[in-house]
Structure 1
Amino acid sequence: MGTPRFDLAGRAIGLLVQRLLKLPPATTRDVTVERDLRIPTHDGQTLLANHWAPAGEAASGVPTVVVRTPYGRTGPLDWLYGRALAERGLHVLTVSCRGTFGSDGDFRAMRHEREDGLSTLRWLAAQPWANDVVLTGSSYLGYTQWAIAADAPVQVKAMVPHVTSARLALAFLRPGRFEMETLLGWSVSTATQERRGNLWRALLGIGRKRVQDAMSTLPLVDADTAALGHAWPFYQECLHHDQNDPYWKNEDHSPTVGDVTVPVSSIAGWYDIFLADQLRDFQVLRAAGRDAHLTVGPWWHAHTGGMAAVLGDTVGWAAAHARGTEPPRKPPVRLFVMGVDEWRDFDEWPPTGSTPQRWHLAPGGALRAGTNPSSPPTSFLYDPAHPTPSLGGPKLEARGAGPVDNRELEARHDVLVFTSDVLDADVEVIGEVTAEVWLRADRPSCDLFVRLCDVDERGKSLNICDDLVKVAPDGITKVTVDLSPTAHVFRRGHRIRVQVSAGAFPRFARNLGDGGPPHKATELRTTAIDVFHDADHPSAVLLPRFLSRPAG
C-alpha cells in the first residue's frame, strides 16, 4: 500500500470538492496512494495507474472503482475520483489510456479501449487488495466502460456512465455534416494536453483564438494544421470516415449494448453533446430486460451538477451492488423538468402519456396550431462568408454552453423566427421533438438548423433544444429534423418560438453549397432559401405535449 496522505492541502481539497459538488460526507480524510503502478496489456505494452484507498483497516474488503482516462492521473482527476472516492471508503484505480501520461504506445482515440480495458481487469483480479469492481466516469471515461461492458468479467458489478455513449465521437460524424467545434477542439486539447503548463493555459484561455480562427480554415482538411502546426490523426479520421464507414466497426460498441448484463445507471444532461445517443443506449438496455436506470438533469457536458450525480451514484448505488447489499431505490427514469425546475420519476423513456401536437410556421413570423390556406414562402440568404453563429446549447466546454438569451441571434437577417401568441395555460413538453420544414434552395446542398426556444414575459428567448441536418434540395423538399429530446414546461404567459436558419458556426462546419465532399470545398457561395408554410407544405414543429403529471 502507499503512504497515508495526511497533508493539510489534500484534506482541504477534499473538503472543497465535497462542498462544491454536495457529495455525501467522507468516512475518512486519511487516504493512501500508490503512483505509477505498471499494468501489462495483451500486446506487451504497459499502462500506468494510480491506486487510491482509505488508510488502514478501512481498506479491507471494500469495492474497487476503475477509472480509465486519457487526461492524466493528477490534478482534477485526483480530486474528483481518486481522493473523493477513497475518502468515501473505496479503492480507486485510475489508469492512463495507451499513449497518454506515461502509458506505452500511441494514443489513437477509441482504438484500444476494449483490449486495454480487459487487460486492466485481468491485472486487477490478481491484486490482493482488489474486490468486486465498479466502473465509472464521464465522457471518454464513460466510453471506456462501454468498450468492455459486454465482455465484463464477473467481478464487475455495476457501471455509471456519465455524458457519454457506446459509440462516442461517431455521434458527430453524420454523412455530409461535421461538428467542427467539438471535433477540432477535442483534437487540439488531446494533442497539447501534456505540454508543460497546459492546464493553466486552458484555464486562462491562452491559445483559444488560434483554435477559433482555425475553424474557419478552408479546406477543412487543413484546420488541424492551422491550429496545431501539423495534422492530427483523430481529426483526419473523422473528416474522412463518417459514422456509417466500416472503418469504425471496432470502435462502435452500440451493437453490443443489449448484451450488457451489468446494472447500469446512466447520468445525462439536457444540453449534453451525447444526449440522444445516451438515451438510445438506455432504451436498448431496457428493451433487453436489463437493470438500467436513467437520470437527466439540466446540465451541459462540463456541468458540476452532472459530476456530483455520477460521484453520488458511484458511492451509493454502484458501491452497494459491489458490496452485495441492497442499493438505494432508484426509479427507472428520473428527469429534471425545466421551466418548473422539478424532478419527476417515470417508468420509461420516452414517458407514456404524451401526445404529439403540431405548431405550424405561419406568415409574418407566427406560430399557431392551425395550417395556413395559402401564403407565399418566407425567404432568407445564407452567406458562408458571414455564417450564422452558434449560440449556447450543447458544447464540449462549459464556456457559453446551455440555455442563453437568443435575442441577438434572432435579430439577424439569416434567422427566421416564428413565435406563438402568449400562452393562456402551461404547455408541458416531455420526450422527442421533431420539426418538419418544407424548403427550396438555389444550391445543390444546404443545411437546415431548427431551434426551439421559450420566450418569457420580458422577451428573453432561451434555447431549449435544436439540431442541424444536411439537405440536398430537389425542388420543394420536405426536411425532417429530430431536435434533441427535452423535458420542459412553457409557462402560462410565455410564448413558444421556433428558429429556422441554415447554419450554426462553429458548432457545425459551414455548408458552402456545392454539394461535394465538405472537407475539400473552398469556394464560398451564397444560398437563397425559401421556407414554405401553406396547406400543401405545412411546416411545423411537433411537440410531445405531456397531458398528465405522474407522482414523483
Structure 2
Amino acid sequence: MKNRFLRSLGLSVLISIFLSAGAVGQNRQGPDPELIAKRHAIEKELNDIAVVDRKVMVPMRDGKRMAADIYRPKDASKQYPIIFSRTPYNFNFWDVRLGAPRDMTSIIDAIKRGYAYVVMNERGHFFSEGNYDILGPPTTDGDDALTWMSSQPWSNKKVGTIGCSSTAEWQMGVAARGNPAFTTMIAQGFGAGVGRVGPYYEQGNWYRGGAVQMLFIAWLYGEQNQVRPMFPANTSQADLIRGSKLFDLSEQAPSVDWSKALRHLPEMDIIKAVDGPNGVFADEMPNITGGAMIRRTPNDAAWYKGGLFHDNMKINIPGFWFMSWYDVSVGPNLATYNHVRKT
C-alpha cells in the first residue's frame, strides 16, 4: 500500500513538473494576437458609434478631482440618461499587460441602447486625487459627481448606478442624500456598504458578533495605498491619456501566505508584519473617518462619518437589489432591503 502510494505520488510529481513546464512555456509566448485584434476591433466599433472622452478630471467641492471616462452616443441633437459606475478598481481603458484596449463590449451595448456611460475611480485610487477610504467617502463625492453629470449639455439629468461588491456598496449611502439626478440604482453584492441596520452592527461586514472578520484584512493589504504614484495636477488630459497606455497605476503587492500571516498578534500589526503599506486599517489617515479601523468599536462614531448606509437613512428611488445566500452578509443585506421597502 505504501509503495503504491509512493509510486502514485512520484507520478503526480512528474505530471505536475511537466504541466508546469508547459505553463511556463506558454507564459513565455507573446500576447495572443487574435485577442489583441479583437480588442482593437471593439475599440474601433466604440469610436464609430460614441463620443469618447477619457481621463476627464471631475472636480469635487473640496477641490480634489476624480478621474472619469465618458462615453455617449454621437447624435448631439439628443440628451441621454447616464449609466454611472464608480469603483475603487482598475478600469483603465488600455490593458497595459496585453498591449491593447480593454474589453468595451458592455459600454457598446449601453451606447446602442441610447445611454451615456460614465465610469469613475473613487477618491484616492488610480488617477483620482485625494486620500483613499473604503466606499469612497465623503458621500459628497458621489453627490458632486451626480450633479456634475446631470449638468452636462448631453445629459437628460437622469443618472442610474450599477455595480457589484465595492462598485455597489457606496450606492446606498449616496442615494440617501436625495440628489434629484439619482433616479435608480442596481446594487449587486452590497453587504460591505451596510453599517448599522436593525440588530446588525457589522459596519460594512467588519464585525460579526462584535469580532473583526479577518477577510478584509487581506483585502485591505492590496487596497489601502497611502503611498502611490501620481501624475502632477497640471498634467493635460491628452498626456493623461497617453500616460495611461504606459502606466495604469495598478498596485502590484507582493504575494502573502495569509494562512500564516493572519495568525500574527497583535491583530493591528498584521499588515505591518508582512511589510504592507500604511493605511486605513491600522493607521490614522487624513480622510473623513480618520482611518485606524482596527482600533474602533462596533458603534464607534467614525463608522457614521464615511460611506456606510445606516437605518437612520432613507432611500426613495427604485432599485434592483442582488444578493447571494452564500455571501458573507446575507442577514444584514436582507435587513437593509426590508428597511428600504418599509421606509
TM (norm. structure 1) is 0.43
Decide which of 154, 164, 179 is 1:153's aligned counterpart.
179
Secondary structure, counterpart of 2:272 in structure 1: helix
1:249 is aligned to: 304
Matches within 5 A, 1:462-501: none
1:263 aligns with 2:318: yes
1:31 is aligned to: 50
User: Is 1:65–1:90's contact at 8 Å kept on the other side of the alignment?
Assistant: yes
Q: Write the distance in 1 (CA, Å) between the matches of 2:273 and 2:165.
A: 26
1:282 aligns with 2:337: yes
Deviation at 1:229, TM superposition (A): 3.7
Structure 1 unaligned regions, length at least 5:
1-6, 16-25, 289-552
1:191 is aligned to: 224
1:207 aligns with 2:255: yes
| Residues 61 and 114 of structure 1: CA distance in aligned 2, closer, same or farther (over 3 Å) | same
1:219 aligns with 2:245: no
Matches within 5 A, 1:139-538: 139-165=165-191, 166-167=193-194, 170-174=204-208, 176-180=210-214, 182-191=215-224, 207-209=255-257, 211-235=258-282, 237-251=292-306, 252-257=308-313, 259-288=314-343
Q: Write the distance in 2 (CA, Å) between the matches of 1:111 and 1:97.
A: 5
| Residues 46 and 199 of structure 1: CA distance in aligned 2, closer, same or farther (over 3 Å) | closer
| Residues 191 and 228 of structure 1: CA distance in aligned 2, closer, same or farther (over 3 Å) | farther
Q: Write the distance in 1 (CA, Å) between the matches of 2:266 and 2:331.
A: 29
User: Is 1:66–1:92's contact at 8 Å kept on the other side of the alignment?
Assistant: yes
Offset from partner CA, 1:256-284 (integer Å, 9 cap, x none)? 44x21100110111222232222111111
1:127 is aligned to: 152
Secondary structure, counterpart of 2:263 in structure 1: coil
Offset from partner CA, 1:174-214 (integer Å, 9 cap, x none)? 4641211x211221121369787887968xxx6143x4432
Secondary structure, counterpart of 1:140 in structure 2: helix
Output the amino acid matched with 1:282.
Y
Q: Write the distance in 1 (CA, Å) between the matches of 2:77 and 2:211.
A: 50
User: Is 2:163–2:186's contact at 8 Å kept on the other side of the alignment?
Assistant: yes
1:110 is aligned to: 135
Q: Write the distance in 1 (CA, Å) between the matches of 2:79 and 2:248.
A: 39
Deviation at 1:58, TM superposition (A): 8.7
Output the amino acid matched with 1:98.
R
Q: If you compute each CA radius of gyration, which structure gives the higher value, 1 or 2?
A: 1
Output the amino acid matched with 1:71.
Y
Offset from partner CA, 1:408-435 (integer Å, 9 cap, x none)? xxxxxxxxxxxxxxxxxxxxxxxxxxxx
User: Is 1:117–1:147's contact at 8 Å kept on the other side of the alignment?
Assistant: no
Q: Write the distance in 2 (CA, Å) between the matches of 1:219 and 1:146.
A: 34
Deviation at 1:224, TM superposition (A): 0.8
Output the amino acid matched with 2:309.
H
Higher relative helix content: 2
Higher relative strand content: 1
Q: Write the distance in 2 (CA, Å) between the matches of 1:262 and 1:161.
A: 12
User: Is 1:164–1:278's contact at 8 Å kept on the other side of the alignment?
Assistant: yes
Q: Write the distance in 2 (CA, Å) between the matches of 1:43 and 1:197.
A: 25
Secondary structure, counterpart of 2:331 in structure 1: helix
| Residues 50 and 198 of structure 1: CA distance in aligned 2, closer, same or farther (over 3 Å) | closer
Output the amino acid matched with 1:73.
F
User: Is 1:170–1:242's contact at 8 Å kept on the other side of the alignment?
Assistant: no
| Residues 233 and 153 of structure 1: CA distance in aligned 2, closer, same or farther (over 3 Å) | closer
Secondary structure, counterpart of 2:117 in structure 1: strand
Q: Write the distance in 1 (CA, Å) between the matches of 2:276 and 2:116.
A: 41
2:82 is aligned to: 64
| Residues 13 and 248 of structure 1: CA distance in aligned 2, closer, same or farther (over 3 Å) | same
| Larger relative contact order (CA 8 Å, sep ≥ 6) | 2
Deviation at 1:230, TM superposition (A): 4.0
